Structure 1
Amino acid sequence: MHVVGLVMHPWVGLSDDVRLGVLTEWVTPELVDEVLAECGRGGVKPGALSPRFMVYFTLALALFAQDSYDDVAENLVGALEGMHETVPNRASFTRARQRLGPEVLEVLFRRVGGAVAPEGLVGSFWRGMRLAAVDGFVLDVPDSEANRAYFGGPTDARKAEAGFPQVRVVTLTETGTHASIDARIGGFNGGERELAVQMADSAAGMLVLMDRGLPGVELWKAYTGAGAHLLLRARSTVASRPLEVLPDGTYLGRMSLAGQRASHPGGVTVRVIEYRVDGGEVIRLLTDLMDIDTYPAAELAALYHERWEVESAYRQVKTFQRGPQQVLRSAAPALARQEVWAHLVVHHCLTLIITQVAGGERIDPDRISFVKVLKHVRRSVVTQAKDAVSAVGSFLSMLEAKVRRKLDSGPRRHRTAPRVLKRPDSKYSPSVKKRQHGPTRRVTAQLITLHPTVGG
């Protein structure tokens, strides 16, 4: 009887040796195996595309977001003998990603993520509280029926589909380092506030900054109930009637649910701080920090502008790491969520590297070029060896040396740019033609002046 032998792929027994360059320092094989076991993906019979390899491959898809599956695989295994000439086909990678699912990458993010700023880092603490900001952004995903049904997307005035379906991401971000402390993923049709409420427990002991689209009674109670403090910008109609004017010109107001009287027990009492920037419109802030001596209004007004650091973090993910206006590669909702979690893991690891290098040079992490660090990390993957983790120390030392020559962009300058819609629905709109586009320009530091309320 003639027996046909089973042909095994050349990667079998080798793919578990693949690492993710210097990022393996934080995403270790041991951690990956623990997460796989926790998610029920451990104990799978090893194959050419083992679960551990697929975790690294999925992270590499985020690190090399503009490369094809083949190119990403070659970047991972090109330095390992016997693997770069036998890369599996695209369908094999897709099936392996489906088997892995999104939960593994989400759990990995929660194991790797968190606050990273050391005590005393400028822009990270205020009066003993760690500074964080909550905000959100969206990412385009392929326009498949599954993605459209699951995530939803923007529509035009006639409620017709307009543009790609979009994943909504809301993060709790450390302002001093841009590290993601927590994150939630939803669809375009879901609100940022609902996702923000889910992260309240992660903000305990912090001072959390938010823009005016987020304040609400439910969110306020969730965060203060979890032990966090809040400094939120409010719309002009929220808490606009003073209940009691305080000696420093701030006042106590009432934020209630829509349609309720200010005295309704379902509302909350807030301290209101009003100020102007360079004599412009009155900006209203709400806070639960009631002691006017311990928490001066002028400092809180100046502090609120640290909220814009979260926008810088989102730019790092959307423009530099993913690529400007680039659509994610996953046509199925589960794979799209997996891809987003991978982007968040990679960005957090890059933030850890920047924070370590800045700490070694004793400078603000804002001064370290994210783009150059990203390029160095990519090269560390392409040139890796099996003992890549042992090279982390020399890698960080190399970056610290380059800080003095190339990576240090210097103290941040005060700049401004016209606030315009960068991707208008139609280039023929008259209002678009009237907008002034141009580069940012240097400006002097903005002058913040309090707008005190006079007691009656």
Structure 2
Amino acid sequence: MTNATLFLPGFHLATLRRRPRSAARRLAEEKARIRQHSISELGDCFGHFIPTKTLENGPDGAFSRRRLFSKENTFWAFFSQVLDADGGCQEVVRKVQALAATRSMPVPSASTSAYCQARRKLDPVELEKILAHTADELQQQGRSRWWKDRRVVVVDGTGVSMPDTHANQQDWPQPNSQKPGCGFPQARICACFCLQTGALLSYRMGHHKSAELPLLRQQWDSFSSGDIFLGDKGFCSYYDVWQFNKRGVDSVITLARRTPVVAASAVAVLGPDDLLIQWPKPVWNKALSYSKEEWQALPEHLDLRQIKVTIDVPGMRSKSYYLITTLTDSTRYGAAELADLYRQRWDVELFFRDIKTTMGMDVLRCRTPALVKKEVLMYFIAYNAVRRLIVDAANAVESPPCRISFKASIQALRQWEPQLHQRATDASERRRLLESLRTAIGARQVTARPGRREPRCLKRRPKPFALLTAPRHQMIEVPHRGRYRANVA
């Protein structure tokens, strides 16, 4: 047989003799091809912490077409945006351009239009599911750190502002004390955190006049039987303590709006400044935050425990306060232990500081209510993701997660991300980089300084700019005097 007969038109001998590729190999090649056009290397830091199934494109509807900003790429771009020090959309687009250039892909346009349109397509329901998944995963990681084998859920509220647009003003109006055009929409957020891991479990968002108690009542499903609810005096409510007790949740709060019970009127004296008391049912009035039918269902009294805590730390505003709790077993829950638990309630202020100051959620950027809600969700998802890295690092160095610096963790993640893009060419190299990232995070611990106090004063003076007392387009500068007045002409 001659060599000419070995080759048939349209065929290649080496191809005919090659063994057919298995289904697993074809799947691996397809994943590698998709990965080449993906910007989701940041997700390698979190493994299955972010459910990748939720980020897959659907067969129809939004994100059904193959584009650069697929659902997965848009999610991780948004994720990266809330972690960036700049935080702007242009920063994300520049990052995508740089990544495309390093992979010899066509460099996309510098316009932010495609990215912003892709963000609008993200489903907030799916983002809520991702946030719930991250919270559940963190609970599993931090279960060994629970207080007396019980999860402590600490609750508090905070405020955020956003761009002054008509749409935002409709949902979150600015305070009446500010003139139109001179203020910003204000929103109130009430969130539940796990005290031991810092994980954000749930949240609700309202306008600046929304009280924290009604927002908390919308999150009762976040609590499980056996949890301990930890809150300040703003959550001191007969109705809410009873509702939590019905769900098998104990409460530790500070006394407010009621006169402390004296030892002579107590049911029993459990120890020094430690009393077993009964709260009578409140008298009905229309100012109560629940209906008359709900008031009628309340029991005639609640069996509680009152502990007076004396503060001997110099510089503290209060010298003493009263704890109210449903943990009436003084043998298992000592008064000193409960006082120490309530002192840890301050950690929720640090959690909010990590999100608002360190991550930059204090001033939101989106100009419509729908995108504002997605932006808040992405901040919380990214916060939980960083908390996951902190808990993993704390477990490795056998240190409490609260001792790991949150800001240093974000700084490390920002610097490791480009290396994951450039050098993580195989699984072993990615594992090595991720292990070095956890080691770097665990090495930066915050010094424990109990009782530390510093005056809340600013040393650096702000620039002497005039205040905006009228809409900006009505302001003109008075010549040669550097002052402003309203142009009423």
TM, length-normalised to structure 2: 0.72
- Residue number in structure 2 paired with 1:298: 336
Task: Determine helix, strand or coil for the equivalent of 1:254.
Answer: strand
Task: Pick which of 308-317 and 186-195 moved more.
Answer: 186-195
Whole-Å separation in 2 of the counterparts to 1:310 and 1:41:
40
Q: Do the aligned partners of residues 91 and 396 (structure 1) sit closer, same or farther apart at CA in structure 2, a change above 3 Å counting?
A: closer
Match status 1:245 vs 2:279: no
Match of 1:52 in 2: 72
| Partner of residue 412 from structure 2, selected from 376, 384, 391 | 376
**Structure 1 83/225 Cα, relative in aligned 2: closer, same or farther at 3 Å?**
farther
Cα displacement (A) at 1:77: 5.5
Letter matched to residue 90 of structure 1: T
| Deviations, residues 160-203 of structure 1 (Å, cap 9, x unaligned) | 78742123222211222211122223332322112212222322
Indicate conservation of the 8 Å contact 2:174/2:186, yes or no: yes
1:183 aligned residue = 203
| Residue of structure 2 equivalent to 1:453 | none
Which residue identity is paired with 1:272? Answer: Q
TM-score by length of 1: 0.77
- Structure with greater helix percent: 2
Report deviation, 1:47.
Answer: 2.5
Give distance in 2, aligned partners of 1:105 and 1:111: 10
Q: Are residue 274 (structure 1) and residue 308 (structure 2) matched?
A: yes
Q: 1:370 to 1:166 in 2, by over 3 A?
A: same
| Equivalent position of 1:96 in the other structure | 118
Deviation at 1:285, TM superposition (A): 1.3
- Structure 2 counterpart of 1:274, one-letter code: K
Q: Report the alpha carbon displacement of residue 310 of structure 1 after superposing the two structures with TM.
A: 0.9
Q: Kindly indicate whether structure 1 or structure 2 has the higher relative contact order, using CA contacts under 8 Å at least 6 residues apart.
A: 1
Structure 2 unaligned residues grouped into runs of 5+? 1-32, 289-294, 466-489
1:75 to 80, 95, 106: 95
1:331 corresponds to which of 367, 371, 377: 367
Aligned-partner Cα distance in 2 for 1:389–1:348: 27
Aligned residues: 404
Q: Structure 1 stretches (4+) deviating beyond 6 angstroms?
A: 12-15, 40-43, 158-162, 260-264
Distance 1:127 1:388, change over 3 A: farther
**Secondary structure in 1 matching 2:234:** coil
Give the deviation of 1:28 after TM superposition.
4.7
Deviation at 1:43, TM superposition (A): 6.4
Q: Pick which of 251-260 and 168-177 moved more.
A: 251-260
Equivalent residue runs for 1:29-428 within 5 Å: 30-33=52-55, 44-64=64-84, 66-76=86-96, 78-80=98-100, 81-82=103-104, 85-87=107-109, 89-114=111-136, 115-121=139-145, 125-156=146-177, 163-204=183-224, 205-237=226-258, 240=261, 242=265, 244-248=267-271, 249-254=274-279, 256-257=281-282, 259=284, 265=299, 268-278=302-312, 280-322=318-360, 327-385=363-421, 390=427, 393-402=431-440, 407-418=444-455
**Counterpart-to-counterpart distance in 2, 1:166 and 1:83:** 43
Is the CA contact 2:93–2:112 (under 8 Å) kept in the aligned structure 1? Answer: no
Aligned residue for 1:227, secondary structure, equals coil
Name the Cα RMSD after superposition: 3.6
**Alpha-carbon distance in structure 1 between the residues aligned to 2:105 and 2:157:** 40
CA distance in 2 between counterparts of 1:20 and 1:170 reads 32
Deviates more, 1:79-88 or 1:332-341: 79-88
Q: How far 1:142 moved relative to its partner?
A: 0.7
Deviation at 1:352, TM superposition (A): 0.5
Cα offset for 1:134?
0.7
The one-letter amino acid of 1:416's match is R
Cα–Cα, structure 1 residues 189 and 376, in superposed 2: closer, same or farther, change >3 Å?
Answer: same
1:211–1:84: structure 2 CA closer, same or farther, 3 Å change rule? farther
